[in-house]
Structure 1
Amino acid sequence: MIDTHTHLYSEQFNEDLAEVVERAKSQGVEKFFLPAIDSETHEKMLQLEAAYPNEMFAMMGLHPCSVQPDTWEQELALVKSYLDKRSFCAIGEIGIDLYWDKTTLDIQVQAFEQQIDWAIERDIPIVIHTRESFPETFEVLKRKKHPKLRGILHCFSGTLEDAQTAIDLGFLLGIGGVVTFKNGKIDRFLNEIPLENIVLETDSPYLAPVPHRGKRNESAYTSLVLGKLVDIYQKDFREIEEITTQNALRVFGMK
């Protein structure tokens, strides 16, 4: 299995990171993709990648919740400096979040568009964070449509129509703990989406799946997400594991 979205560099793992990684490996998780947030965590993320060079893969980007009026341009300049120094598996997580702050929509869109441009220039995928902002996110993606624009809509929690729009735009759906929630709703229609359009993720330490909901999430729980997909798709665990792993390797250019 591949956890396509995990913040293992979070301070919530400071005390037991090695054990967390070993638990994930014991469950069959072989690769971990690390989305960037902002300047407060970039170096910690890169140190983690360096400690596990064959298993951890860092992205670079500015999270929409870190797009703030006084600092966003400096933060973006820092992202650009990292991108110019070395290669990354993706630009992410980037996008639009209107749950916490609607007043920054204009600069969130500017930051999102700039980072999309950098991804197209470098021919690497993007990993999108969209919260209460599917119409705004899709508007940007349609405006920026390009043969090289591709990636993952992380933590997908939209409707079937949203899912099909994302797929039509060239994106995979990142499925995590939300699929196990009673009020998550995506389990009602997910079997209408071909498995070839799905990757697994945890978003740890956030959004732990049932039966750990409300507690710290970790990459070992990727197997619980996959277990729920077994119920939804009525397919064998190994078959879903193989398809979603190949999807992840393909989108990150590792096939």
Structure 2
Amino acid sequence: MILTDTHTHLYSEAFDDDRETVIANAISKGVERFFIPAIDSTYTQRMLDLKQAYPKHMFLMMGLHPTHVKEDYKEELAHVEEMLQEHNFCAIGEIGIDLYWEKAFLTQQQDAFRYQIKLAKKYKLPIVIHCREAFDEIFEILEEEKGEALHGIFHCFTGTWEQAQKAISYNMKLGIGGVVTFKNGKIDKFLEKVDLSHIVLETDAPYLAPTPYRGKRNESAYLPKILEKLELIYRKDIAEIAEITTNNSKMVFGV
């Protein structure tokens, strides 16, 4: 049984003391494919080092995270395109709009999101969307950019059933992580109505650890806890869910 973590920040400082152990533990649990989202230029070398150390397991994205869109965002976007020209990446991500942590740079976030969607189309790559308290703003831009060339993942999907349907209509898979195990996570109330063909698994490690690890550092090795919750929701065998969600990730990323 091969599991795929479609969103994990394994280069994070949170893993500096035991990164090799964390990765080995995840692999021992069947998590063999790790998709690594970008944040900004300060993390690029860490990501490249991670890929070099685990070339068969790590797949890198490139992009500018919305909470890191500041006054210098155009310089950061130039770095994104430079990296796309120099290295192979599997997606543009994570990109989007975040109005929970930062409202002052909304215009810049919108501009950066549009620009990176255009980069994704130029390089024929999927996008991985970060959306927090910004579904309307995200959907407005996706409506402008929609088409066969636009596809990807709504990372850490925490919206409503209606928002799930809309995200899927834009050729997006839903990234399901630790939130589905939370008592107040809400998405478990309607997720069974979403066909498994639209679902991929993720941890967002080191953030959003699933129950019973909530509040602690998250790890890719905890992905089976999310899988166990989906087994209850979909009433399907764990191995079948693992196969379907991993195949979905292959469809998105092409690897």
**How does the TM-score come out when normalised to structure 2?**
0.98
Residue 49 (structure 2) aligns with: 47
User: Secondary structure in 2 aligned to 1:95?
Assistant: strand
Q: Which amino acid aligns with 1:151?
A: G
Residue deviations 1:85-137 (CA, integer Å, cap 9, x gap): 12210000000000011121110000000000010011110000000000100
Residue 136 (structure 2) aligns with: 135
Counterpart CA distance in 2 for 1:86 and 1:47 is 13
**How many residues end up aligned between the 2 structures?**
253
Q: Does 1:246 align with 2:234?
A: no
Counterpart CA distance in 1 for 2:50 and 2:27 is 16
| Counterpart selection for 1:11 from 10, 13, 17 | 13
Counterpart CA distance in 2 for 1:230 and 1:147 is 32
Q: Structure 1 unaligned runs (5+)?
A: none
Counterpart CA distance in 1 for 2:45 and 2:165 is 36
User: Secondary structure in 2 aligned to 1:93?
Assistant: strand
User: Secondary structure in 1 aligned to 2:226?
Assistant: helix
Q: CA deviation at 1:145?
A: 1.1
Counterpart CA distance in 1 for 2:205 and 2:229 is 17
User: Secondary structure in 2 aligned to 1:245?
Assistant: helix
Q: CA deviation at 1:228?
A: 0.4
Stretches of 4+ moved more than 3 A in 1? none
Counterpart CA distance in 1 for 2:94 and 2:146 is 18
Residue 214 (structure 1) aligns with: 215
Residue 63 (structure 1) aligns with: 65
Q: CA deviation at 1:166?
A: 0.5
Q: Does 1:105 align with 2:69?
A: no
Q: CA deviation at 1:32?
A: 0.2
Residue deviations 1:12-45 (CA, integer Å, cap 9, x gap): 1001111101110111101000000001111101
Counterpart CA distance in 2 for 1:101 and 1:82 is 26
Residue 92 (structure 2) aligns with: 91
Quote the RMSD (CA, aligned, Å). Answer: 0.6
Q: Which amino acid aligns with 2:177?
A: G
Counterpart CA distance in 1 for 2:193 and 2:147 is 26
Q: CA deviation at 1:84?
A: 1.2
Residue deviations 1:229-255 (CA, integer Å, cap 9, x gap): 00111111011001001000110012x
Counterpart CA distance in 2 for 1:46 and 1:201 is 21
**How does the TM-score come out when normalised to structure 1?**
0.98
Counterpart CA distance in 2 for 1:126 and 1:18 is 28
Residue deviations 1:181-231 (CA, integer Å, cap 9, x gap): 011100000000000000000000000000000000000011110110001
Q: Structure 2 unaligned runs (5+)?
A: none
Residue 186 (structure 2) aligns with: 185
| Counterpart selection for 1:27 from 18, 26, 29 | 29
- Deviating more after overlay: 78-87 vs 150-159: 78-87
Q: Which amino acid aligns with 1:185?
A: K
Counterpart CA distance in 1 for 2:50 and 2:147 is 33
